[in-house]
Structure 1
Amino acid sequence: MAEEKHYMTVEGKEKLEKELEFLKTERRKEVVERIKVARSFGDLSENSEYDSAKEEQAFVEGRIVQIEKMIRNAVIIEEDTNSSVVSLGKTVKFIELPDGEEEEYIIVGRAEADPMDGKISNDSPMAQSLMGKTIGDKVSVSTPGGDMEVEILEVK
């Protein structure tokens, strides 16, 4: 069975590689040290510090496995500066109709999506609705808060 592809920019992959390096070299050591200290408190069956450290260790190890898989299955988004069609890796500016504010997002893979930083996943309803459209197109987007209509102002 083929593993899921993870679409990302070069910068997104580099960010994941740095996080992976940090988790393997620094965070693992910190957690192991917490476990050692917690063990010194005695009876492990009633040691909440030990339980907490073990849970953190499981989280860190899970994140390492997740990042390694994402990097292994990374598909780098190629920059296409010639096209004005909304696609993966493009920045799209739009306005909510009839009189909303302008919004601008970069469409990225889910691995690096961060709406607060202006990056939306290509799997999101917003991105799915915008993909393949061009400047001037009016698009209906289904959101958890209801349907909205937007007009694409710029694609870069």
Structure 2
Amino acid sequence: MKSKLITRAGYLKLKQELDNLWKEERPEVTRKVTWAASLGDRSENADYQYNKKRLREIDRRVRYLLKTLEQIRIVDYSPEQEGKVFFGAWVDIENDAGEQRRFRVVGYDEIFERKDYISIDAPMARALLKKSVDDEAWVETPAGRTCWYITAIEYERE
């Protein structure tokens, strides 16, 4: 399951990636493909083959971003969220062993390249939703059921 939610900062980052791919990277790779094709035999031309492959990757990513940005819903901070875990919250948790973690509950498209972000669809996020500081959350994991205590909740006011 993939929720179609995103923070405003996440949306802007995806939009920036789309603009970069479409307006800067794709025209440059297209020029390289055209130049390499003009050299003759394409079957043994590494520049042509590599850049043609890169062009397909760019086009695939552009299609994905266009579709995603069209369907996704931006969720902004609201004062009513204060004190409870909702989408966009930074959450500090601790277990009985004293292990501590801090992460932000965000949309699926925002979790890549960030170890401190978790998807709203993750079991941990689902267990924490609507909980307050000092509440306990039971999380089902492949290793078994574990209990985490919420120690802090913060929101970015974007």
For residues 46-101 of structure 1, give each alpha carbon's deviation from its aligned partner in whole angstroms, at most 9, with x where no partner exists. Answer: 3333222111111111111111112111211131334322111112111132221x
Tell me the equivalent position of 1:67.
65
Whole-angstrom CA distance in 2 between matches of 1:144 and 1:53: 42
- One-letter amino acid of the counterpart of residue 133, structure 1: K
1:74-113 equivalences in 2 (<5 Å): 74-82=72-80, 83-100=82-99, 102-113=100-111
Please say if residues 5 and 73 of structure 1, whose CA atoms lie closer than 8 Å, have aligned partners that are also in contact.
no
Measured in 2, the distance between the counterparts of 1:8 and 1:34 equals 35
Question: Residues 51 and 92 (structure 1 numbering): CA distance in 2 closer, same or farther, change over 3 Å?
Answer: same
SS at match of 2:5: strand
How much is the aligned-residue C-alpha RMSD, in angstroms?
A: 2.2
Aligned partner of 2:123 in structure 1 is 125
The 3-state SS of whatever aligns with 1:44 is: coil
Work out which of the residue numbers 3, 16, 19 in structure 2 matches 1:18: 16
1:116 match: secondary structure: coil
Instruction: Specify the code of the residue in structure 1 equivalent to 2:19.
Output: E
Unaligned runs of 5+ residues in structure 1 are none
Counterpart residue number, 2:146: 148
Deviation at 1:129, TM superposition (A): 2.0
State the TM-score, normalizing by the size of structure 1.
0.83
The percent identity for this pair of structures is: 28
State how far apart, in whole Å, the 1-side matches of 2:107 and 2:138 are. Answer: 22
Query: Where do 5+ consecutive residues of structure 2 fail to align?
Result: none
1:144–1:32 CA distance, 2 compared to 1 (3 A): farther
